[in-house]
Structure formats: structure tokens, C-alpha cells
Amino acid sequence: MCCRKRALPLALVPAVLFAACSDNLGTDPSTSMLARKTGVAASSVSLSESRITFRSSRDDNFEIYFMNADGSNQTRVTNHPAIDAISDWSPDGTQLVFLTNRDAGPWEIYTIGVGGSNPTRLTNNTAFETLPVWSPDGEKIAFRSDRDGNAEVYVMGRDGSGQTNVTNHPGTDTDPNWSPDGTKLAFSSSRSGNRDIYVMNAHGSKLKRLTNDPAFDGTPAWSPDGKFIAFHSQRDHELLEIYVMRTDGTEVTRLTNNTLRDGTPTWSPDGSKIAFHRLVNSSQNVYVMNPDGSGQTQITFTPGLDGFPSWGGLPSAESVAAVAAEVRALLSADVLTAGQANALLAKLDAATESINGGNDTEAAHQLGAFVNQVRALVNSGTLTPEQGEDLIAAAQAALATLG
């Protein structure tokens, strides 16, 4: 199958995006290997503090990026010759979970630091493992797997442990998305003959069907207040549009209305915006709009394919804390001495203090000084170039959160 290739020429991308890798489930766009789940982060994160992760082909290969809510400060997270795609934020803002074919086999699920450090494989088998989404408490990850011969929704620990099938049905079950309180999962399923949206308890009980339409409904996304679910659908014509409904399936409202393909909605952490991607001819970009469909605004502008947004992120002080965690890990591994680690941590502590005091300029200065110290440790041979690059990338990611 096409999805087993490690990298694809961009000329083949449209097939991968919406038709290829359908796992023998037809041409329904949600059964594509790049069908998208969406997630919502903690509602304590303001719009200005939030970040959107997305995948892009801008560097002639699919990689993961993140950006501010207005599209500024676009920052690359992954850098690998394989395809990295469809990511979701950890609730603490320090990691992304994503799918990749970097192991020269089927799609697997990895986590990675927001600065690009410590990529860690969570699944490892011959099935397709896709569409990962983090639980609100950060302890579990829901995903789709074909390991039982058909698409099912699975849940595992954040470290990949305890992988459990929670749907157990011969139909296609996919597109998992957690409720804000973490007690339920919304997902799409073909178990009734056509693709509709369902909800169940997180361990698989008390199934309820929310939509019942002859057309395809997919990629449900719970609003942060738990009152609404956004999704995309072909119910009004063959192209995808974005809709929203109450979490009991009532009051279905169409948000987009055009002759383009709009898909994969994701709510901002404060619930004030919805991001989605729009395919125009061979170009795909990320847009944002108000929850009533007004104010549709393009925020990425590439001739290639920017898509599958996921909204999350935390205040910038938390991003600095993620860098500090990496320094402490190097201290624990005896790569750094206590004096070297403390010198680095002092810069990070100063940056955090400046952020908390509202002085982003001074915080940026301290992070810049941290980067210079890391480079000195690489030049002295204390850190390997790879270790230095990981720390610098993490610090640059923290800088990007300062806006």
C-alpha cells in the first residue's frame, strides 16, 4: 500500500491526503490514513497563549509545525525524511503525540517534545496505528488501530502501556476525541451502515448514536465547555463542510458553505474559535473562524499542503519548564555536572520570573543567553551536537510562545 512508503513526492500528495491508504474501506475521506481527529486543551489557556499544531509539506516532506493562534511564529517540530503527520498536544503543553512511518513500515504512534527532542515510539506492530489524541488529564491516549482486522478505537497509557480495544465491533470505528472531563469518547463509525458520530464512556460502555444521515459524518471535536461537538460532513454535497451540534446530537448547524473541501475542525482552548483546513485546488491551508461560522480567516499561506490542525499549548512559562526538564534529565544521566546544569537552570529560572512579571523582552534575553551557554557546552565536547540541538530547539520553541 502507498502508506508504507517512507516519503512521497509532493506530486502524489493529493492521493495520500484523501484517497490513498483507505485500508480497503472505500473512498470515504475519513478512512484515509490521514483522516483527522481533533482535540481541545485545558480551557485555562487563553487564545493569545494557545498554539496550533499542524502538518505541512512546505519543506518538500510532511513535518509537524506549530504556530500562534493568528498564524504567526510558525515553528518546525519534526525533521525527518519520513512522513510525520496528525499531531495532538499533551495537556501540559510539553509534548506532541503524532503518527509517522519513520520505521519503514506501517504507521505508528510517537510522542516528541515541542522543541523536537526525545521522539519516543509508543506502538509497534504490523497494523496501522493512527489518529492519536491525548486525554485531558494527560494519562491516556486514544487512537485508531487495525490490528484486529478492522478499524477500532483503542486507549493506551501515555507511555504506550495497556493498549485496549474499547469499541470491539466489526464496523469501522475511528476518529476518537475525548470529552473535556475525560469520561467519554466521541468517534465516527460505520456500524450502522453509513458513517455517523457516536459517543460512549471512555472504557466503551453506554454507546449512543448522535447523527443519523445517509452521508458521511466524521472527525468529531468536543468544545471545551462540553456543550457542543464540531464535525465535518458530506450531508449537503459531495465535498466536506464543517458543522456543529449539541452533544446529544440536536441542533445541527452548518458553519461553512462553499464549493471547497473544509475538514478536521478543532476548538481553541477557550472555545472562542474553531480552526480547520480548506483544500483549494491542490493547495491546502489552515483557517480559523468563530463558532457560528463567521469571520473565516486564512492563517497559513503555502502553495503546498498545510492541514490537520490541533489546538492546544500552554502559557510560555510552562514551555520554559519543559526546557528545564530536559536539562535535569541530562544532569540525572551524568551528562552535565551540577554546576553546568545549575548555570543553565539559572537562565531558565530568570526567564520564567520575567514571564510571570510580564517582561517578555527580558525573558527572551535570558533564553538567548541559555542558547549561548548550550552552544559553548557543545563546543567544549560536554554535550553532543544532537543533545545541544535538542536543547536549543526546545528553547526556541519556548521563545516562539512569547509571541
Phi-psi region of 113 (alpha: psi -120 to 50; beta: other; left: phi over 0): beta
- Within 8 A by CB and 6+ apart from 238, the residues are none
Compute the distance between CA of residue 40 and CA of residue 268 in angstroms, rounded to an integer.
7
Residue ranges per domain, the chain? 2-312, 316-400
According to the model, what pLDDT value does residue 14 have? 32
According to the model, what pLDDT value does residue 358 have? 65
292 burial type by CB count under 10 A (0-12 exposed, 13-18 middle, 19+ buried): exposed
- Give per-residue burial for 197-236: e unless 16+ CB within 10 Å, then b: bbbbebebeeeeebbeeeebbbbbbbbbebebbbbbbbbe
Residue recorded with cell 549561548:
372
According to the model, what pLDDT value does residue 16 have? 31
Q: What is the pLDDT along the chain (403 residues), one digit of tens a residue?
A: 333 333 333 333 333 333 223 333 233 333 333 333 333 333 457 787 788 999 999 988 999 999 989 999 898 999 999 999 999 998 877 789 999 999 877 899 999 887 787 899 999 988 999 999 999 988 999 999 999 999 999 999 999 999 999 999 999 999 999 999 999 999 999 999 999 999 999 999 999 999 999 999 999 999 999 999 999 999 988 889 999 999 999 999 999 999 889 999 999 999 999 999 999 988 999 999 999 999 999 999 999 999 999 998 754 677 788 889 999 999 999 999 999 999 999 989 888 887 766 676 777 788 888 988 999 999 999 999 999 988 988 887 777 666 5
Compute the distance between CA of residue 365 and CA of residue 355 in angstroms, rounded to an integer.
11
According to the model, what pLDDT value does residue 359 have? 73
* Residue 279 CA from chain centroid, whole number: 19
**Amino acid identity at 276:** F
Tell me which residue of 241, 54, 245, 89 sits closest to 178, measured CA to CA: 89
pTM: 0.74
Q: What is the SS3 assignment for 245?
A: strand
According to DSSP, the residues that pair with 145 across neighbouring strands are: 129, 152
- Grid cell for residue 321: 519548564
According to the model, what pLDDT value does residue 41 have? 36
According to the model, what pLDDT value does residue 62 have? 95
According to the model, what pLDDT value does residue 402 have? 66
DSSP string, 363-398: HHHHHHHHHHHHHHHHHTTSS-HHHHHHHHHHHHHH
- Grid cell for residue 55: 502538518
H/E run at residue 231:
strand 228-233
Helix, strand, coil shares of the chain as percentages rounded to 5?
20, 30, 45
According to the model, what pLDDT value does residue 284 have? 96
**2-312 CATH, one of 2.40.340.10, 2.60.120.620, 3.40.190.10, 2.120.10.30:** 2.120.10.30
According to the model, what pLDDT value does residue 403 have? 55
According to the model, what pLDDT value does residue 397 have? 73
According to the model, what pLDDT value does residue 321 have? 85
According to the model, what pLDDT value does residue 31 have? 32
According to the model, what pLDDT value does residue 355 have? 74
